Amino acid sequence: MEAKFNPLFESFTFRSGVQVENRVAMAPMTTWSSNVDGTISDAEIDYYSRRSGGVGMVITACTNVSRNGQGFHGQFAGYNDEMIPSLARVATTIKEKGSKAVLQIFHGGRLCPPELVDGDVVSASAVPTDDGQVTPRALSDEEIVTIIQEFGETTRRAIEAGYDGVEIHGANNYLLQQFFSAHTNRREDRWGGSLENRLAFPLAVVDAVKEAVAKYAKSPFLVGYRLSPEEPEEAGITMKDTFALLNELVEKELDYIHISLMDFWSEPRRGVEDKGLSRMEWIRDLVGNRVPIMGVGSIKTAEDGLKAVQMGIPFIALGREIIAEPDWVEKIESGNEEDIATTISRDAQELLVVPDPLWQGIMTRTGWFPVV
Active site residue 174: yes
Residue 329 parent element (H or E): helix 328-333
Number of Cβ within a 10 Å radius of residue 300: 18
Residues 48, 79, 174, 225: which is the catalytic one? 174
Q: What is the largest CA-CA distance in the chain?
A: 57
d(CA 169, CA 227): 7
Q: Which residues of 128-160 are buried (b: 16+ CB within 10 A; e: fewer)?
A: eeeeeebebebbeeeebeebbbbbbbbbbbbbb
- Cβ distance 209 to 147 under 8 Å? no
- Cβ distance 108 to 70 under 8 Å? yes
* Distance in angstroms between the alpha carbons of the first and the last residue of the chain: 29
Q: Are strands 19-20 and 12-13 parallel, antiparallel or unpaired?
A: antiparallel
Please give the single-letter amino acid code of residue 139. L
- Cβ distance 297 to 263 under 8 Å? yes
Report the candidate in 352, 340, 322 with the shortest Cα–Cα distance to residue 54.
322
Catalytic residues: 174
